[in-house]
Amino acid sequence: MITTPNSFSDLVLFDLKNDSETASTTAAPVQLVYFSAAWCGPCRLTHPVVKDIGKEFASKINVYEINTDDMPDTAESQGVVSIPTIQLYSGGVLKDTIIGCVAKNVLAASVAKLLEEVALNE
């Protein structure tokens, strides 16, 4: 779980090509950021989906959770206006956003598509 804005910047908003130090500690080409809150019912339904996707793509993505109650400024700065929100980043750039509950196959397809795009650009 990301607990500080600096952690978010260091782990998610970096450029793999231009930040070799971060790239060496963050091997995955895609970062999935899950914005949620403990009181949010749809977030509780989405959490197992995100966890399963993290396991399914374990060597290819990094999964981070942000509690919007603890880090409202980070959520706001990333354009999160509703939770749950899942954002997919590559090279520090936002590539896709999914808002609301999501089925595992839909999220898996989004992750697979982004991984394919990343592989084509290498």
Q: Which residues are catalytically annotated?
A: 40, 43
Decide if 34 contacts 111 (C-beta within 8 A). no
What angle, 0 to 180 degrees and rounded to 10, lies between the N-to-C axes of helices 41-56 and 104-121?
A: 50
User: SS3 for 98?
Assistant: strand
Angstrom distance (rounded) from CA 33 to CA 17: 20
Longest Cα–Cα distance in the chain = 41
Q: Count how many residues are written for the chain.
A: 122
